[in-house]
Chains A and B, each alone.
Chain A
């Protein structure tokens, strides 16, 4: 990830303190925030009454299906839709020849590199044509009836082979996507010369998929020149910007809505071709149009976390002080310019080290484009860095926890040594180790049969402080109930719950009296994407500011009506309470509120504190059992210690941590995209052959240990990000535990039974 990028927007820049909450003191003892309260939409989500986009059916709605290229690299010679057009129920067909479909796509630094329907399909699954029909079945049958003639071209799907001389060129300019991105400080040669021990290895992590429970899709409707899109997206406002650019429309004419979301993990941070195709069909047929991808299509065309090859060299002094870190990263962007998914950030910033040099090179291959996935680049970086730390510790005969504790920074070295607002890295490692029983476990027996036990840990950090931009409106109605109006999507993380808790904390209104309007560009205000672990720390302060503004106005009305100084009043359980004697007047009984009918507070996210950076930290610990005869790795228990600032909602916090660890477990032992070397096609593009962990694979014991440092310098709620840190070190901790169990280090993942047995056989030979 490139660093030092300007923030996208600063909705609170120059705003009065009353709007950003800059004048609000930190919360003292809280009554709602930090309490283990259930999700505000838990019933809807669990009972099936929540209406997801997939569930929508509008009158007259058509269904679209997309014809996809079955080859890894091919030129479309001819598309024959004559048969499909005559099929029952078919209303419209689009191909690359359709004038309205001539839409540029996949922009890089030098502009677009492709089209909505590109005559050169550079990966399996690329869009070739589309069909709209009365039913999904008719659309699918007609899509199958579209006859496409291809000129099949040579392909390359291995990112290391793509850089070899003579490899087929994925893009006309060659297979290097951009220049290598280099970061450097100090003098690594001098650092290695000063080292007492050096470890140098090459690591590989697999390409893995987001596999959100909800697949991707949209329902689209035109009303004259106005476009409404119900979308499975992590952010309605950025999708609106993208659609406005594609259709050359004013922002005000586009409405994007995403009320319930079934997960994204980064794969729903860009507008889908399916959305634009549905919009084209809707325009052509004057009907609402729905297009959803199949599960299999999402494996080919909805992004992935690309494989990493990481060469890493580290030097350390006898006392455990790091002297130099040098790394080279490469990985496949897919066939088109994508989010720069490599990240050496932690190598440059997690531990104190004066001499660092990193280089990152993204590579084009004939595969679906990468998208950001839960901490883009960070879990792979952890895999290499944290395994290296363990190897250094072994070389020094030092405990891995102790080695890490010797190298804790208090400033951000990658940001020219500006301080962190808070850093709980030391506490995460030390308190996590204590809770895990690290010292005892490391001294304990690993077993002497063919089933061995081992323990491992890894630390980590996330490198994005968020886009400090959100505008929130809180409305207090005459009966004391509240509308919370905010733009953010709740992609399953519990955003609505956290924000409602903030309102309840400020206004003393019970959660069940707070109705939430959100993720709708027509009715709510700007919020950034729900990604990058930013929504709580970006939106919650704006929510607090908006609620505080309502509170101030309400208390001043109550003070006048009750002839009490406002300072002598507080809001509790839906009532105005006199602090001194506990005398209560229900909010709904305030005449002055009845007269006004409505109090409105507007909150804006303040800019980040100048000259500092606010980032979350983590240390995770795992105990594993490895069967050396069958190769099976089982994680028995884990402890996750997180400094994500204040734990706003302990239950959803724990959800995030358990889910993040499970995703890291998949990366560590079972998940990987497998591409057929003969055809360049993905052989495991389905939920059976692609092995995400099941309920029986995750450990039975999860301990979530929030290091509850309230980062009130970061924002007025004291929260930092959590979603991404939860998965950053998990795979590395498991790999370290496996090594501790059987004495064999796995530089390449995932650590499948096959890899365990093959590696043991090689060692034995």
Chain B
């Protein structure tokens, strides 16, 4: 049950930023994660600042450079169904379609999807873990079948966002509004690993707001896809996922982005696998080699070693499906 809080319905981004400047204020967009965190006592919110009424932050629009701007309040459902994104940015629409359940996709926003708190069951449960200011990560020696095989250090959560994987694969950028104006940042540089700061998952200050996602233009022959594997087929986060964007020159891959979800505290670029694909025709041998390389550096915990095989399977299936 949610404890009492003050509520501010912001009429502009500037007003929201200002309201967020006070201690204990939390931003509300779709609310699908915020309300759950408050109900479960993951954090307290003295003040909830809602931007859900800001129409200027909603919708998908073309940019002069041929790219696309997606307002941060655009719902996951709208992105999944957007015809202008469907072909070129298939990795994103597919990722959006795999999020949660229809109800949550209708309510959840793309900005909020990137800012979700971890879904680690210790973090979400009645455990005072390191990420909540405690002194241990319970997952390190505990029940860690859903945890990180890559990039974990002191804390082994996996980033829950499907769309983040797609956006990193697309080399998307973010527009962020704050007290001193707006700035842009690559999605790839948005996330903060536990090695840098165990108390946060991204670079946003408490009074900063994502206002838009910017997709770069896509030129030439580009194929992309998102594959998500989970314990059940709806309303579930990824055990492992892979977002792939391949640029082709005839039958040969000229540029490759392979990004993994569900295996690390942030979308994980499988750089070795990308390198293996460039300049090659992705036949089954190449796909198998890239899959093998995708989990380079993986260091599984006691119960999550299966994710290494799962990632390989998903990467190989995805490359071959795009070929």
Contact = CB atoms under 8 A, between A and B. Distances in A.
Interface of A: 70, 136-137, 140-141, 294, 450, 627-632, 670, 674-679, 681, 683-686, 688-689, 691-697, 752-754, 757-758, 760-761
A685 B126 CA distance: 10
| 8 tightest A-B CB contacts, nearest first | A629-B313, A696-B233, A757-B306, A140-B1, A694-B234, A683-B121, A754-B306, A696-B234
Contacts of B1: 136-137, 140, 294
A144 to B, nearest CB: 8
A630 B141 contact: no
A684 B125 CA distance: 8
A686 B3 CA distance: 20
B145 A754 contact: yes
Nearest to A70: B126
A761 B303 CA distance: 14
Contact of A631 (B101, B127, B233, B306): B306
Interface residues of B, number: 37
A423 B314 CA distance: 48
Given A136-B1, A676-B143, A681-B127, A691 B232 contact: yes
Contact of B126 (A675, A681, A760): A681
Given A631-B229, A681-B127, A696-B234, 13 more contacts: A629-B310, A629-B314, A630-B240, A674-B121, A674-B143, A675-B143, A678-B141, A686-B124, A689-B124, A694-B101, A694-B234, A695-B234, A752-B231
18 contacts: A141-B3, A450-B313, A629-B313, A630-B229, A631-B309, A631-B313, A675-B143, A676-B143, A679-B127, A681-B125, A683-B121, A685-B125, A694-B235, A695-B234, A697-B234, A753-B231, A754-B304, A760-B309
A676 B232 contact: no
Main secondary structure of the interface of B (DSSP, over half): loop
Contact of B306 (A136, A686, A761): A761
A691 B306 contact: no
B232 A678 contact: no
A630 B314 contact: yes
A694 B231 contact: no
Contacts of B3: 137, 141
Interface string B61-85: 0000000000000000000000000
A629 B311 CA distance: 9
A683 B313 contact: no
Nearest to B121: A683
Interface string B234-255: 1110011000000000000000
A694 B100 CA distance: 11
A685 B303 CA distance: 19
Interface in B131-149: 138, 141-143, 145
A700 to B, nearest CB: 12
Given A683-B121, A689-B121, A757 B233 contact: no
Nearest to B145: A754
A628 B304 CA distance: 17
Contacts of B233: 694, 696-697
Contacts of B145: 754
Nearest to A627: B313
A249 B124 CA distance: 44
B89 to A, nearest CB: 24
Contacts of B143: 674-677, 683
B231 A670 contact: yes
Contact of B121 (A679, A684, A694, A760): A684
A691 B231 contact: yes
B142 A678 contact: yes
B316 interface: yes
Nearest to B227: A630
Contacts of A685: 125
B229 A758 contact: no
A630 B121 contact: no
A622 B307 CA distance: 28
A696 B309 CA distance: 24
A674 B144 CA distance: 11
B153 interface: no
Contacts of A678: 138, 141-142
Nearest to A756: B306
Contacts of A757: 306, 309-310
Contacts of B101: 694
A694 B138 contact: no
Nearest to A684: B121
Contacts of B310: 629-631, 753, 757
Contacts of B119: 688
Contacts of B157: none
Contacts of B156: none
Most buried by B among A630, A631, A697: A630
B266 interface: no
Contacts of B240: 630
Contacts of A692: 232
A758 B125 contact: no
Contact of B232 (A674, A675, A697): A697
Contacts of B141: 678
A627 B227 CA distance: 14
B128 to A, nearest CB: 10
A676 B121 CA distance: 10
Contacts of A141: 3-4
B49 to A, nearest CB: 21
Nearest to A760: B309
A127 to B, nearest CB: 16
B306 A753 contact: yes
B305 A758 contact: yes
Contacts of A758: 305-306
Contact of B309 (A136, A670, A688, A761): A761
Contacts of B236: 688, 691
Interface in B150-205: none
B138 A676 contact: yes
Nearest to A698: B233
Contacts of B229: 630-632, 753
A695 B138 CA distance: 33
B226 interface: no
Nearest to A450: B313
A628 B313 CA distance: 8
B317 interface: yes
Contacts of A627: 313
A198 B304 CA distance: 35
B282 to A, nearest CB: 17
A149 B105 CA distance: 43
Interface in B22-38: none
